[in-house]
Amino acid sequence: MQARSLLEARSKGAAHCEASADLGCTTTEADLNDGGVTFAGGTQAAWAALEHIAADDNGCYEVRGTDTTRIQHMSQLSGRLASLYPTAGPPALLLSGTLMHRIKGIHPGQDTQRKLQPLGRLASTRVLDTATGLGYTAIEAASAGARVVTVEWDPAVVDVEHRNPWSAALFTDDAIDRRQGDIAEVIESFEEAAFDHILHDPPVLELAGDLYGVTFYHQLRRVLAPRGRLFHYVGNLDSPSGLRVSRGVVRRLEEAGFQDVRLQPDAFGISARA
Ligand SMILES: C[S@@+](CC[C@H](N)C(=O)[O-])C[C@H]1O[C@@H](n2cnc3c(N)ncnc32)[C@H](O)[C@@H]1O
């Protein structure tokens, strides 16, 4: 819910406005009255609840009347807090203070487009999305006509997916096959050359070292079809850490047998071919 724009509309004395009751996913007509806001679908939010939300720059909330609930889950598996972080577009995923999407000068929706662009045409292809997160890359690939297998390790992230309106297609789109587990293990169950493209978007190296290792890259290479494409998100290639990590990634991808390994600075990652 876009609390600040509703509070602003009230301060201007508006009786109605266009607003979103689902974190900006859709907009609808809202009535502004003394107690709060009533959306076209009947959802209500009290002014006190909206003021509480507007005071938090770093969280997204569910609202029922005067009750607000921050969208966050503590992971029993990793001990990390998984939460939604508001942006100018779809919310980002925050894992214990580390953002899983780009938000500086770009929002997660645009970030998703850039990650998929190096893979080329997706219609009628089989895509492996190694780390579901909020499902944005999986959903976008499926909407471009791919059949997608996507794997998420952390149950707390899956809980957040369920509460994020922008992740809804993960649970409704038949072209998306969701798996829960560690991709380093799950990948062993896939046949050789099972995928035409792989989108590898792991957490930063410090949080998921195995997913940057040559053993895992051999598995990526094994399940990728001849001439198939890989995009590996790494982070800002112009930053000292991005530069350092990307050098190691390029070397290990080549060691695992990938061809045509190229830096993709706009997409903050590295592309390669089987
Ligand atoms: C950068 S996010 C992926 C973002 C995703 N591409 C999207 O569009 O929202 C990385 C995700 O990998 C998950 N993850 C971490 N280790 C993993 C593993 N071993 N196997 C599968 N997923 C893992 C994290 O919980 C996190 O949700």
Nearest to 76 by CA among 158, 11, 136: 158
- Cα 159 versus chain centre, distance: 14
The Cα 6–Cα 13 span in angstroms is 11
Q: Is 106 exposed, middle or buried (0-12, 13-18, 19+ CB in 10 A)?
A: middle
Nearest to 175 by CA among 205, 210, 150, 198: 150
Q: Tokens in use for 236?
A: 């800002």
Enumerate residues 6+ apart whose C-beta is below 8 A from 137.
112, 115, 116, 129, 150, 199, 201
Can you say whether residue 232 is alpha, beta or left, with left for phi > 0 and alpha for psi between -120 and 50 degrees? beta
pLDDT at 41: 85
pLDDT at 1: 52
Give the pLDDT of the chain (274 residues) as one tens digit per residue.
589 999 999 999 999 999 999 999 999 999 999 999 999 989 899 999 999 999 999 999 999 889 999 999 999 999 999 999 999 999 999 999 999 999 999 999 999 999 999 999 999 999 999 999 999 999 999 999 999 999 999 999 999 999 999 999 999 999 999 999 999 999 999 999 999 999 999 999 988 989 999 999 999 999 999 999 999 999 999 999 999 999 999 999 999 999 999 999 999 999 999 9
What's the gap in Å between 203 CA and the centre of ligand 1? 6
For ligand 1, is residue 204 a contact (CB within 6 Å)? no
pLDDT at 103: 95
The Cα 274–Cα 223 span in angstroms is 9
For ligand 1, is residue 182 a contact (CB within 6 Å)? yes
For ligand 1, is residue 131 a contact (CB within 6 Å)? yes
The sign of the dihedral angle between the CA atoms of 115, 120, 124, 125 is negative
